[in-house]
Every structure is written in C-alpha cells, then in structure tokens.
Amino acid sequence: MRPFLIFLSLFFNHLFSQSFFAARGLGEEVSSYEAGQSSLGKNHIFSYENPTFPLDLKTTITLGSIGQQLLYAKGGEGERFLYQFQINYFKVLIPTFGRTKFGFGLRRRFAQDFDIYSDTFGSYFWHIIGKGGINALSFALAKEIRGIFAFGVGYDYIFGGSEENWSFETENGPLTQETVFGRYQGGSIRFATLGRIGQIEIGTGMELFFPIQYQGHLSVKPETAVKREIRISPVYNFGLSFPIRELKRVFFGFQFKDWAQTKLDGEVMDNLTSGFLFSLGLIDYWRERHPLRIGYAENFWSLLAKDKRRVEESSLNLGTSILIPKFGFFDLSLETFYRRGGDLKEIGLRILFSPRFDETWKRRERRWGYW
C-alpha cells in the first residue's frame, strides 16, 4: 500500500503548482478541486467531498479534475509570471443497498510548490524551489432516509511529502546548495448531514483532525532528522440552496477553520489564524441538462503573510456542463482570482475540466438461449 501512495504523492507533486504563498506554513489551502464545486463559488456542502451529496444518488459516478492556471505575482519591485498544469482530483461514488452510498477518492489538501528568489547581500541571493504537498485519500459512507435527509461519515488518510532546494547564488551561478526533505502522515474524520424541506436544501459538516506527524531531514546529513507533531483544529461547513424561479437555483456556503489554535509540538503556530470562506452561486438551466453556473467567493485564509497580515482571496467563477451521450458530462469552470497578503499580490486565471462518467448498474435477466 505504501509504495502506491508514494507514487500518487510524487505524481501530484510534479504536476500541481500553485501560489507563492505556498512557501509558508503548511502551504496553500486548496479550496477548488472539481469544476462543478468551483463554478458555484467553492461550496463544500454541495460538492462530492460531502459524504451525503448528492442527496438522491442513483448512479455510480466517477469524476476527475484537470486544469491549467496562469499566475501573475508582484511583490515590491519584483514581478513574475507562472504557468501550471494541474491534475488534482479523483472521486468515485457508488449507490448501494438500503439507500446507502459509498465513496472514495484522492485530492490535494495543501500545495507546497513554489519558486522564489530572495535578495540578501547585494548581488548575492537565495533561490528556493519547493515541490510537494499534503494529499488526502478519502473513504465515505452515507445513509439516506426517505429521499429527504441523509447523514454520513468519512475518513481521510492524510499523507504527502515536500522537497525544498536552497541555493545561495550569484549572477554567475550557485555557490552553495542544500535540500530539505519532509514527509507528512495523519488522518481526519468527517461528519455531514444534508436535508430537504420542500425545495430548500440545507447541509452541515465538521472535520476533526488526528495529529499529523512530520519528519524532515537534510540531504547531506540524514542523521539530523527531526520529528514534529501538528495538531490542526476543526473545520466547520454550512450550505443552503433554494430556487428563485423555475430552473434557477441559488447556493450559499460558509466555511470556518478554527485554526488559530493549531499547534506544532504543543506550541500555537504563529503563522496561522482562524479562516473564513463565503461563497455565493447561481445555476440556470438555459437548455435541458445544459446548466450555466456563476459563483463568487471571498476566502480569508488561515495563513498569515510575513507581516502577520491575513492572506485574502476574491474569486469569480463561470461554468457549465456538456452532455456526452452514453458517458455522462464534461463539467467546465473558468475562474479569475485576486490574492493579497502583505506586499505580495497575485492575479490568476484557472480553467478546470472535470470528466464525469455516470454508470447505471442494471440487473440482467436470463433469456431462453442466451444471457
């Protein structure tokens, strides 16, 4: 099992790249992971990460997410452009007997990829390249009651690895180089509910973390390995959905990360605080099975910049679904976002593409002379 997880971690590490803010703390909090959820403002309750969503699952759903991102960053007098290709999400949902459903998947929780320069002594500077992140292999089970209420539980096995290459350089090339390796391992348990009152849907969720173990060492002297323990505080989610007219529906989402008390070896981490995410989405079916989605989100990260100011992100999303006969759908999302934290500003464009395969399991009956 472990070699398989190491392969998945390396696969993610080399294809997923994000913000310059990923150089701090646990890295960038990945709040967008599949096109449908992203285009409704990153609403967690009405996403496939909620064990109880969708409320009335009738087919087996296999979903993935790939995307591209263009990022412009400016800090002080410096500015840089980055382009990234992303494969960041996989999920399978299966309806089973007795109105229960089972799900499993893989997604990135924190991205720690970055490439930064730091001026230090005149023409001498640090060049630091980070690769890696923290992933979650998830399993979930939910029970539906009379098509109007569901409750579920999920377990996430949290794992990942990071690699930071530190080079002290001049304009003529590097003078010294060092590499720091790290490995993460832990878990979390999630509880969720989703109910329907008339045409209104309301959902809640909570995630509790087990201690995450970190082990790091230098490439030159492995005997200098250090072991740390990270205790992450809970995450709470709320979602509300209601119709405003025929074929039009509004979605509201709220997430609270009580991370001001997150501890590293028993000490409160000074680069984390409590985080909030507000999302608002609208879906309008302009043609049967062809929705138009629009979403807006304000994300007040748990991560603090170097000057102790909170990292903030505003994003606007557009999306739709393309019906593929005898297959399912292709969900599409186009997102623009603006991040700021201290002197660093980022403007980005992200395109997410999520193929979704819907499989209906049917019982076959034996006929005379053939099956």
Kindly write down the DSSP assignment for every residue of 119-147, as one continuous string. EEETTEEEEEEEEEEEEEEEEEEEEEETT
Q: Does residue 287 have a pLDDT over 80?
A: no
- The enclosing H or E element of 36 equals helix 35-39
Confidence bin at 303 (pLDDT 50/70/90) = confident
| Residue of 192, 213, 215 whose CA lies nearest to 204 | 192
Q: Is there a contact between 293 and 322 (Cβ–Cβ < 8 Å)?
A: no
Instruction: Tell me what pLDDT residue 333 has.
Output: 96
Distances (CA, A) of 245 to 62, 163, 199, 240, 242: 31, 51, 11, 16, 9
Instruction: Tell me what pLDDT residue 305 has.
Output: 81
Q: Indicate the residue type of 100.
A: T
Percent of the chain at pLDDT exceeding 70: 88
More confident residue, 90 or 363: 90
Instruction: Tell me what pLDDT residue 282 has.
Output: 96
Neighbour-count burial for 52-70, b at 16+ CB within 10 Å, e otherwise? bbbbebeebbbbbbbbebe
User: What pTM value is reported for the model?
Assistant: 0.86
Mean pLDDT of all residues in 39-60 = 93
pLDDT digit string, tens, across residues 195-209? 999 999 999 999 999
Question: In angstroms, how far apart are the furthest CA atoms of the chain?
Answer: 87
18-27, 64-73, 289-298: least confidently modelled range: 18-27
2-359 under CATH 2.20.130.10, yes or no = no
Q: Does residue 276 have a pLDDT over 70?
A: yes
Mean pLDDT of all residues in 101-109 = 94
